[in-house]
Amino acid sequence: MAPVVPRRRSRLVTLAVAVVAGLTPAVLWALPAQAAAPLYTALGDSYASGVGTRTYYSDGTSCYRSPYAYPVLDANQIGASLTFAACSGAKVADVSNNQLASLSSSTNYVTLTVGGNDAGFTSVITQCAKPWPYTCWGDIDNANNYIRNTLPGTLDTLYNKIRSRAPYARVVIVGYPRLFNESDCQSLSRISPGEQAALNDTADLLNQTIQARAVAHSFPFVDPRTAFTGHAVCDSIEWINGLSDPIMESYHPNRTGQSSGYAPLIKNTMLSTMAAADKA
């Protein structure tokens, strides 16, 4: 004999069955599916790969990609799936030939820091660091001439390739900090205050050139110079390494430079660019 269900309870059970049977499909249809992680590709040179942070992935390359580099920090912050293509020593041609494979119409974000190696900035600083009577004025002039006359065209070609491969991505172009506070504090490197001032001027020219080409392609430009002011080599709180051991760590942002200097600026630009695109 079937158990007797009280009349009030029976009505409640019937109502519940009706809700589940009749309304659940509509409710499930209305619920949004969990969004997939946005796809983010980080391109560029040692400033993007994280040289200077002293900890690197063992990925079978000599790219010195660091878990403390701004691409990793920002990918974690925005919940993105990162393709970390940036590589130490990369020039514009290296990015163009070796780093664009992951870009596609599905790519959501691209960041790029490149141009310093094309201008020979590392070799110029190395020459400046040699003891007297060596000087680097001619090397600085050569770098400036390259930045003015050759770099713009190479950047245009690269930016066109990025846009062609990732037509819907938010592409953020990232510049370089000024390295020096123009004081004579590192006896081993022997870069004079005058040479430091000239190198800072070259950094300004490099940023201005990169920014002009970025704007011409409608790419936002992140200028880190203001954020790094007061945190140059020889400042009381350095975000940039001075002459270091091993030598490759020299004159690159340290972990704080990446996390407090670069990462917040780039993340905010990526998200503000996304918000502007969503409103368009």
Burial of 192 (0-12, 13-18, 19+ CB in 10 A): middle
Max distance between CA atoms of the chain, in angstroms, equals 109
Phi-psi region of 58 (alpha: psi -120 to 50; beta: other; left: phi over 0): beta
10 is catalytic: no
| Helix/strand/coil (H/E/C) assignment for every residue in 21-53 | HHHHHHHHHHCCCCCCCCEEEEEECHHHHCCCC
Which member of 49, 66, 189, 252 is catalytic?
252
Distance in angstroms between the alpha carbons of the first and the last residue of the chain? 68
Which member of 10, 46, 236, 244 is catalytic?
46
Q: d(Cα 163, Cα 90) in Å, to the nearest integer?
A: 20
46 is catalytic: yes
Q: d(Cα 159, Cα 42) in Å, to the nearest integer?
A: 14
Residues with a catalytic annotation lie at 46, 252
